[in-house]
Chains A and B, each alone.
Chain A
């Protein structure tokens, strides 16, 4: 048999000089089988790809509505890839038979089952001239088979569909929506996402902490960033984040000044200084808490110290002496320097007096700096408390904290934020002031709910210290204050000594009662949040302590009668 097997439009021509009729038939069938398999694979794989691509596409759409976490996406995509690879391997491994190829070629080439019959006789040889004739005829037909014509390579429609789906999938990843995550850039919804309010609080807190860099607390901002990052990555949960925020709060509270004592001390010093004409501007500035201005005035005074009349010098010396007697915690150094200045003036040591006044001015500036920094720290602490409360509230409400999801209670949080700004602590926190009245500052430093003298605006209820402990279910103990705490016991009827006259804390509010019925005040809080606010927040383990306290302050006479 001599000829050329033109099976593929001249592309795969093979010499068949030495091939028998049977070999020609088998070679042709093999080529047909390969082409059938190729076409089948293209069709099946493109169809399979279309069906399989529907899954990630659906997930991506889902992700646009309900953002999926990286872990979820990884698992699903991993399973998807495995299934798809298994499908591809399964289809690739599935080979057709030559019988099938013969049947197919017979139909396509209209060979009237010639190939099928010939192949069967090739496999089952029998001594027959007729069979040989049949094989010879079929071999001739096989030589003329044009596989390219019989089995043209066509791009299936499903491949266009699958390509479209791929493009759509890519496009969906780049949809400019704030809650969209680009899976191609290995982005996904974080394990925990701050809502807008929390993000704003966080930003503000970080700014405050950075401003407080002067107090060598700059690492706290980084710590805070680290905590939030861990939270978003799912390395820690909201409870752990809350505890870590507590630690930062405690660190912020370390080394706090006794603002109330300093305030009062400065006022007293100011009053003393105002008694001298020369020192009056300094006193005024101190009274207005403008310590830098007071320092400038003091320096000016020091420069012109020699120009004062003896009478003026004497007044100054006297005022300084009186001011130096106000030794409050935190003002010891200032008092000491004022005293030195007074004594130097008394001894006519003008130069030494000038130095003392300069040092006092420096002390005032230092004090101003400390107060400013502490103010920033307190604000940061307050913001941290808000952030912590928000996280805890979401944790209690079982919120996963998915970004882009509507946060139930977000509105309520806003309301709480407003309360915080007005001096009210969010629910679960102890109120500023021991009596628990809204926003009433007290002078008991170091207690839960510090007075608000040093807070911005000094408005009622914005305590210097961040919200009191007890914001969480379990009682927590912060770092002990380093300030010299002076508790003033309230004078109770029957007490023989000590105590202060009780104050009517509601006196101010009694002067002008609100005309608005409290029952008509609409609350943004949900019933659950209201219930939370109305809860008795005294932990049961503290109740004996409180009971013991009241028993301790019970009048002695009554105790005797009993």
Chain B
């Protein structure tokens, strides 16, 4: 029996590795980002990629969709984009009998992988069109709810908030992202590689290595990994420490945070920890796993107060302080 589990773990690792290898053929120097994106997908979550334009965020997502044998659609968010442009709408049609009826024309959201490019360029109203889809995996148009295919995975990219013509994502929207990954500027070596790959006639080609069923199996494997109460307790205490209210609040939290993470943050910590454990050939979650995914899982769930905003406090700094000061379970 345990051999079967070992085999599952090995399979999980191999599939993960294969996806990552294929993506890495195109995307250079973003190993952690790629890991985060794949982990979010395997955790049944969505990912928000933040970075200045031109760093390959969109390319990363499109490459991932190329690697997966899944339905992919892309939505370019603009200020004039309407919710119906995302979800789809009922269109009046005429049948052979000449009768008119409303027919639902699904929007681009009806895919397995949805790229919401520059999501913060759309108005909050349009951004909110993703809320139901991301959490309920369904879209309601009129009086009819339409189920989305599984797996459903939203990869959103956004420019830094201080950029011109951007709208900050509402808290509820942010909370629905499993992880927020920051895409930094590539290193010199990475740039060399990028230039070598993209300035020639032949561009790298990727293979489709993962299908729908495999992704769903991997998701099941992730959720089967056990976590002991002390480790889970640690994840909860970290989550609670993001709140400015005592007794778990950290000093930085009390000073700069308006709202802390929702329970989804703790869920992200645990599930992210499980995936990391599997990737490290373990069938149990460790404290290191929790700590490793904490930044991605919590940074967008910690909302700064006025003082924090004014002082341009980075939420990563707050999370770092929390991780350093939260006692480990004995």
Contacts and interface: CB of A to CB of B under 8 A. Distances in A.
B284 A134 contact: yes
Contact of B230 (A120, A130, A136, A138): A120
Interface in B220-235: 224-231
Contacts of B282: 112, 114, 137
A291 interface: no
Contacts, number: 70
Given A103-B330, A113-B284, A113-B287, A120 B2 contact: no
A112 B231 CA distance: 11
A116 B230 contact: yes
Contacts of B289: 112
A124 B232 CA distance: 14
B184 interface: no
B217 interface: no
A121 B231 CA distance: 12
A128 interface: yes
Given A130-B225, A133-B6, A100 B284 contact: no
A102 to B, nearest CB: 9
Contacts of A134: 226, 283-284
Contacts of A131: 226
B330 A130 contact: no
Interface string A100-123: 100100100000111011101100
A132 B2 contact: yes
Contacts of B226: 117, 121, 126, 128, 130-131, 134
Contacts of A20: none
Given A120-B228, A121-B226, A133 B2 contact: yes
Contacts of B328: 103
Interface string B17-53: 0000000000000000000000000000000000000
Most buried by A among B6, B226, B277, B285: B226
A541 interface: no
Contacts of A551: none
Interface string B223-258: 011111111000000000000000000000000000
Nearest to A101: B330
B275 to A, nearest CB: 14
A551 B297 CA distance: 118
Contacts of A496: none
B5 interface: yes
A97 interface: yes
Given A117-B285, A129-B5, A133-B2, A103 B329 contact: yes
B286 interface: yes
Interface footprint category on B: 20 to 34
B288 interface: yes
Contacts of B228: 113, 116-117, 120-121
Contacts of B277: 112
A318 B224 CA distance: 147
A134 B228 CA distance: 11
Contacts of A460: none
B280 interface: yes
A99 interface: yes
A95 to B, nearest CB: 14
A347 to B, nearest CB: 125
Most buried by A among B6, B225, B227, B228: B228
* A99, A126, A128, A130 — most chain B CB neighbours (10 Å): A130
Q: Counting chain B CB atoms within 10 Å of each CB, which of A112, A117, A131, A136 scores highest?
A: A117
Contact of B5 (A106, A120, A126, A133): A133
Residue in A126, A134, A137 whose Cβ sees the most chain B Cβ within 10 Å = A134
B330 A113 contact: no
Nearest to B234: A113
A517 B280 CA distance: 108
Contacts of A117: 226-228, 230-231, 284-286
Given A130-B283, A134-B283, A113 B5 contact: no
A366 to B, nearest CB: 98
Contacts of B5: 129-130, 133
Nearest to B224: A130
A115 to B, nearest CB: 10
Nearest to B3: A133
Given A100-B330, A124-B229, A130-B225, A113 B2 contact: no
A130 B8 CA distance: 11
B229 A112 contact: no
A136 B231 CA distance: 19
Interface in B313-330: 328-330
A103 B4 CA distance: 29
Interface in A120-165: 120-121, 124, 126, 128-134, 136-138
B1 A129 contact: yes
Given A97-B330, A121-B226, A133-B6, A113 B283 contact: no
Contacts of A118: 284
Contacts of B283: 130, 133-134, 137
Contact of A129 (B2, B280, B287, B329): B2
A134 B229 CA distance: 14
B286 A112 contact: yes
Contacts of B231: 113, 116-117
A117 B290 CA distance: 14
Contacts of B285: 113, 117
A25 to B, nearest CB: 13
Contacts of B2: 129, 132-133, 136
A111 to B, nearest CB: 8
A134 B283 CA distance: 6
Interface in B191-215: none
Contacts of B4: 129
Contacts of A100: 330
A112 B1 contact: no
A239 to B, nearest CB: 66
Nearest to A119: B228
A302 B226 CA distance: 133
Nearest to A124: B229
Given A126-B226, A130-B283, 9 more contacts: A99-B230, A106-B286, A112-B280, A112-B288, A114-B286, A116-B228, A117-B228, A118-B284, A137-B283
Interface of A: 97, 99-100, 103, 106, 112-114, 116-118, 120-121, 124, 126, 128-134, 136-138
27 contacts: A97-B330, A103-B328, A103-B330, A112-B277, A112-B280, A112-B286, A112-B288, A113-B284, A113-B287, A114-B282, A116-B231, A116-B329, A117-B284, A120-B229, A120-B230, A126-B226, A129-B1, A129-B4, A130-B224, A132-B1, A133-B6, A133-B283, A134-B226, A134-B283, A136-B2, A137-B282, A138-B284
**A-B residue pairs, 4 tightest by C-beta:** A112-B286, A113-B286, A120-B228, A117-B228
